[in-house]
Chains A and B, each alone.
Chain A
């Protein structure tokens, strides 16, 4: 996908991307808790059973150099369809099949207007809050070890 086509995404697509991003980054146990809180098991068909594979991670030196293959990463993906034909896609690093299945179900329910606000409120927002907490904790820990190096300016 080129940079220009990314820019053309509608707000709907951008919103779905951020929802899927939250699901992907969520630790499996957090997603399991949030899913249990929803207490709703939608009827669904698995159209691509959860499967684990590898993707090539590519990097650029300093963000601007030539791309190179850095490593392979394990991912798991799954696609389901709800009864009305809405498809939900889940994929995440790691090999947790239950997690990607739940992520796919949440993605599909999110696309249904009647379920979106419930999903946002009961699953996405709590997960986003947890991720924000974890991130600020890490930031605080890193900040506590910050060292400033001073060098004397030589009077040349």
Chain B
């Protein structure tokens, strides 16, 4: 490693992570767990003094810092993958390896929904190990407006209305295909500024406008 390379790596400091790593990570994990256990419900994340580099949002960054470590390959969308500040930040705080192929990822972080590849291109797990699938962390603007769908399935008493914006045009059709793969398939966590919601592979999605 040359002096110049060393200097450039260490010259710009990454932004701080969690101020209280154990308790912050626990509260974010609880929110993520509840989001998955009760699909479509909105979980609030509060009291996180995170200052992630743009374009990362506080909630998406909190999820990455909580869930990723050196054991979880992380896939970044094309915009994030080209952003060295973001990559240095995530690498410094989580040590997660970055992968080129969505199929190799344990987690995928997508800042721009337009950059979301086909959901089928992510790892859906195998029949022996359905857990070896990708969890997609999708940064969205809000969890109130946008194209609405109806969710049914485990964790939902009758049915649950859910809307999120923005979503790519064919997103919900792909999510329907994804839920047909059960027990295989990917899980999605939507992260707006300070809110989370989850749709696991077990949720049945209906009510799409034709």
Which positions in A face B, CB cutoff 8 Å? 5, 8-10, 12-13, 45-49, 51, 79, 81, 85-87, 111
B3 touches A86 (CB 8 A): no
B19 touches A49 (CB 8 A): yes
Q: Judge whether B12 is part of the interface by a CB distance below 8 angstroms.
A: yes
Q: Which residue of B lies closest to A82 (CB)?
A: B13
In the assembled complex, which residues on chain A have CB atoms less than 8 Å from the CB atom of B10? Answer: 86-87, 111
Please give me the 8 A-B residue pairs with the lowest Cβ-Cβ distance, nearest first: A81-B13, A47-B16, A87-B13, A85-B13, A10-B3, A12-B3, A85-B12, A87-B10
A105 to B12, CA, bound (A): 16
B13 touches A5 (CB 8 A): no
A79 to B19, CA, bound (A): 13
Which positions in B face A, CB cutoff 8 Å? 1-3, 6, 10-17, 19-21, 92-93
Residue pairs across A and B with Cβ atoms less than 8 A apart, 7 shown, are: A9-B1, A12-B3, A13-B6, A46-B16, A48-B92, A85-B11, A87-B10
Q: Shortest Cβ distance from B15 into chain A, in angstroms?
A: 7
B13 touches A48 (CB 8 A): no
- Which of these, B2, B6, B11, B15, contacts A86 with CB under 8 Å? B11
Q: Shortest Cβ distance from A41 into chain B, in angstroms?
A: 18
B11 touches A10 (CB 8 A): no
In the assembled complex, which residues on chain B have CB atoms less than 8 Å from the CB atom of A5? Answer: 1
B6 touches A10 (CB 8 A): yes
In the assembled complex, which residues on chain B have CB atoms less than 8 Å from the CB atom of A79? Answer: 92
A10 touches B1 (CB 8 A): yes
A47 touches B19 (CB 8 A): no
- Which of these, A13, A45, A48, A111, contacts B93 with CB under 8 Å? A48
B2 touches A10 (CB 8 A): yes
A10 to B10, CA, bound (A): 15
A47 touches B1 (CB 8 A): no
In the assembled complex, which residues on chain A have CB atoms less than 8 Å from the CB atom of B17? Answer: 47-48
B3 touches A47 (CB 8 A): no
A45 touches B13 (CB 8 A): yes
A85 to B20, CA, bound (A): 22
